[in-house]
Structure 1
């Protein structure tokens, strides 16, 4: 994703103040967007509206869960980012990450396999999960909503 960066709390030699939403229901797309943009910019209702606008005549909307718990697809994320003035660029994982020009990338939203769980019970199934990676004050952080706190990744080379 590329765009201009909003101001963040100054770190002055210590870890920067990071905005980090925790996982709720199947709202990882909401959390990934808000963690990327470092603020509560999107809600479930907003992403639901975007999903409906993408398929206005569908009886069953293909862009999110039938149960109304989230589980938004890439089309909803891309529309949300576009509404904030960002361009999402699809990256094929078969391409080499060495060709990425990190200085021109605002952040990453990754769709990764994740174990399903019911409370503390882990199920033998996997679902896709949206995760944000973002550079703040020269350091990349994993802002996955399933983490209790952001995880420091490091510099450009450590990210690659």
Structure 2
């Protein structure tokens, strides 16, 4: 999304740990060591709370998109890009994070599972792609270039 290695695993792990500690304090679970913001074995797979906190440190904001509306209502004109939490295609797979980024007026699919980034010809193609993902249980988050105060 940010076009470079902006965050290390150590950075994201620190954010997940801070969020997990805050969750335990709120719930009064001093002995509970499970962290709901990352994979149980500490191998990444961070949740949207970690991604939101990380992006905020760089001056970006995230808005959750209500998938009941349909992708045509995503405010692409205000967005730096989109983060998609894709539902697994097979029962043994986990959810997958990917980013769509607007560069020079075009949106690019920056999915790490692709051999190379692919671009969408127009807004309708972006909407069709997102509607298909939303229909399968995906979640879309709109990344804004400045945090609203």
Partner secondary structure for residue 135 of structure 1: strand
**In 1, are the aligned partners of 2:107 and 2:119 still within 8 Å (CA)?**
yes
* Structure 2: segments with no counterpart, 5+ residues: 25-31, 128-149
* TM superposition score normalised by structure 2: 0.72
* Structure 1: segments with no counterpart, 5+ residues: 1-35, 117-123
Runs (4+) of structure 1 exceeding 2 A deviation are 96-101
**In 1, are the aligned partners of 2:82 and 2:101 still within 8 Å (CA)?**
yes
1:82 aligns with: 56
* TM superposition score normalised by structure 1: 0.68
C-alpha distance in 1, partners of 2:19/2:80? 25
Q: Alignment partner for residue 47 of structure 1, among 2, 12, 22?
A: 12
C-alpha distance in 2, partners of 1:61/1:128? 17
* Per-residue deviation, 1:43: 1.1
**In 1, are the aligned partners of 2:65 and 2:74 still within 8 Å (CA)?**
no
User: Which has more helix, going by share of residues?
Assistant: 2
Name the count of aligned residue pairs: 118
Structure-to-structure mapping, 1:79-158, within 5 angstroms: 79-115=53-89, 124-158=91-125
Compute the RMSD of aligned alpha carbons. Answer: 1.6
